[in-house]
């Protein structure tokens, strides 16, 4: 999560400059698409601030009311970002587009729109490249779809999707303004605003679905789970892992509970020493696993369950 705010800061600065220029262009041209894009950039600026708020609050230390910390604050504020994109960005863009289609206004001074769109593309392109670079570093060669689905840090992929939607919105706005100017038909401009609203709504729904899974509580990746099982069952005192449960409390904050069957010849002292070894080994291999609870299965339960395989989540 340490590198993610870099992409967020870049997005905030870029979007703030872009929003101002788009509103100026909308005022001079009367373009509904430019107004929708201005609202889009303004919403993205606010969303960046909300993400930074979530990052800061998620780093608050544990307290008696929140013994596992505040890591899920980040997931909550990401959900708020999705709601903002849907309601304000998508909703207002759709409203303006429909209003423009019902009461079309011819474009004026289209050169303003072209200049602002070009400058916006430069700003958004830089912000997008920063987000892509940060995301690629996290993905580590994995394909983008899988990496996004597996990612537990919403800061980077939220900015990446916002910037991708912004670039797509700029392309749509350009087509709408160009067609409206070229053919003297203001309906193209209104239609572009509607399309921009649909794009924003689609991005918002995707982000909301991702935030939902993280808020409910997602397990670690199968590779980490298998690594923990292999590490634990490699201990000389452990017979097998009976049950393994994990949940992300934050991007780099994982809760792990283990139920272990120890070898019958292991004494109480051996078991205690093994638990301490396993705890140290897991933290050394996977520092993101910060909360570890290990339970030794009773001999009676061992006899009843026999050789069942470990359950996990």
Same domain, 201 and 282: no
101-115, 136-150, 189-203: segment of lowest average pLDDT: 136-150
Q: How sure is the predictor about 286, in pLDDT bands with cuts at 50, 70 and 90?
A: very high
Residue 238 forms beta bridges with which residues?
262
Q: For the domain that residue 232 is a member of, what is the CATH number?
A: 3.30.70.1350
At residue 283, does pLDDT exceed 60?
yes
pLDDT per residue as tens digits for the range 64-76:
999 999 999 999 9
Q: How sure is the predictor about 313, in pLDDT bands with cuts at 50, 70 and 90?
A: low
3-state secondary structure labels for all residues of the chain: CCCHHHHHHHHHHHHHHHHHHHHHHHHHHCCHHHHHHHHHHHHHHHHHHHHHHHHHHHCCCCECCECCCCCCHHHHHHHHHHHHHHHHHHHHHHHHHHHHHHCCCCCCCHHHHHHHHHHHHHHHHHHHHHHHHHHHHHHCCCCHHHHHHHCCCHHHHHHHHHHHHHHHHHHHHHHHHHHHHHHCCCHHHHHHHHHHHHHHHHHHHHHHHHHHHHHHCCCCCHHHHHHHHHHHHCCCCEEEEEEEEEEEEECCEEEEEEEEEECCCCCHHHHHHHHHHHHHHHHHHCCCEEEEEEEECCHHHHHHHCCCCCEEC
Same domain, 149 and 271: no
The highest-confidence range among 97-111, 154-168, 281-295, by mean pLDDT, is: 281-295
Same domain, 197 and 270: no
Residue 244 forms beta bridges with which residues?
258, 312
- Out of 183, 216, 249, a domain closes at 216
Contact 78, 154 (CB under 8 A): yes
Domain that holds residue 45: 4-216
Residues 6+ apart with CB under 8 A from 86: 200, 201, 204, 205, 208
- Out of 216, 240, 267, a domain closes at 216
The per-residue pLDDT for 265 is 87
- The closest alpha carbon to 1, from 115, 180, 137, 101, belongs to 137
Residue 288 forms beta bridges with which residues?
none
Same domain, 116 and 237: no
- Out of 181, 216, 251, a domain closes at 216
Same domain, 40 and 141: yes
- The closest alpha carbon to 160, from 11, 55, 1, 42, belongs to 11
166-175, 182-191, 265-274, 302-311: segment of lowest average pLDDT: 302-311
Average pLDDT over residues 35-57: 89
The per-residue pLDDT for 143 is 73
pLDDT per residue as tens digits for the range 219-271:
999 999 999 999 999 999 999 999 999 999 998 899 999 999 999 888 889 99
- 258-296 in b/e form (b: 16+ CB < 10 A) is bbbbbeeebeeeebeebbeebbeebeeebeebbbbebeb
Same domain, 108 and 238: no
* Mean per-residue pLDDT of the chain: 86
pLDDT per residue as tens digits for the range 17-27:
888 889 998 88
Same domain, 272 and 140: no
Same domain, 127 and 226: no
At residue 281, does pLDDT exceed 60?
yes
The per-residue pLDDT for 122 is 87
Same domain, 153 and 302: no
The per-residue pLDDT for 2 is 46
The per-residue pLDDT for 311 is 58
At residue 128, does pLDDT exceed 80?
yes
**Confidence (pTM):** 0.80
Average pLDDT over residues 2-7: 60
The per-residue pLDDT for 132 is 84
Same domain, 85 and 190: yes
Q: For the domain that residue 135 is a member of, what is the CATH number?
A: 1.20.1510.10
The per-residue pLDDT for 1 is 44
pLDDT per residue as tens digits for the range 76-125:
999 999 999 998 889 988 998 999 899 888 888 888 889 989 988 888 88
Work out how many domains the chain is built from and give that number: 2
At residue 135, does pLDDT exceed 90?
no
Same domain, 202 and 229: no
**Please, is 24 exposed, middle or buried when counting C-beta atoms within 10 Å of its C-beta (0-12, 13-18, 19+)?**
middle
Same domain, 149 and 15: yes
């Amino acid at each position: 999560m340490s590198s993610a705010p870099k992409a967020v800061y870049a997005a905030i600065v870029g979007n703030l400059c872009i929003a101002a220029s788009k509103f100026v262009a909308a005022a001079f041209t009367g373009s509904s698409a430019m107004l929708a894009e201005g609202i889009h950039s303004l919403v993205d600026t606010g969303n960046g601030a909300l993400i930074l708020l979530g990052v800061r609050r998620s780093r608050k230390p544990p307290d008696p009311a929140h013994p596992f910390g505040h890591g899920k604050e980040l997931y909550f504020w990401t959900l708020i970002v999705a709601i903002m994109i849907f309601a304000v960005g998508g909703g207002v863009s759709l409203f303006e587009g429909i209003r423009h289609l019902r009461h079309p206004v011819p474009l004026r001074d289209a050169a303003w729109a072209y200049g602002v769109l070009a400058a916006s593309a430069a700003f958004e392109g830089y912000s997008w490249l920063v987000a892509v670079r940060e995301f690629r570093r996290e993905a580590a060669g994995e394909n983008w779809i899988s990496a996004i689905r597996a990612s537990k840090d919403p800061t980077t992929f939220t900015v990446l999707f916002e910037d991708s939607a912004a670039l797509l919105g700029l392309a749509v706005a350009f087509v709408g303004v160009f067609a409206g100017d070229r053919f003297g038909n203001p309906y193209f401009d209104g239609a572009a605003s509607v399309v921009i609203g649909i794009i924003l709504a689609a991005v918002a729904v995707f982000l909301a679905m991702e935030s939902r899974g993280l808020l409910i509580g997602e397990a670690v990746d199968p590779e980490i789970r298998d690594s923990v099982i292999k590490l634990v069952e490699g201990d000389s005192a452990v017979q097998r892992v009976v049950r393994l449960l994990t949940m992300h409390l934050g991007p780099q904050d994982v809760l792990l509970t283990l139920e272990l069957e120890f070898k019958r010849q292991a004494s109480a002292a051996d078991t205690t020493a093994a638990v301490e070894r396993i705890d140290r080994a897991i933290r050394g291999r996977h520092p993101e696993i910060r909360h570890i609870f290990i339970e030794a299965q009773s001999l009676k339960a061992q006899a009843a369950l026999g050789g069942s395989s470990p359950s996990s989540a």
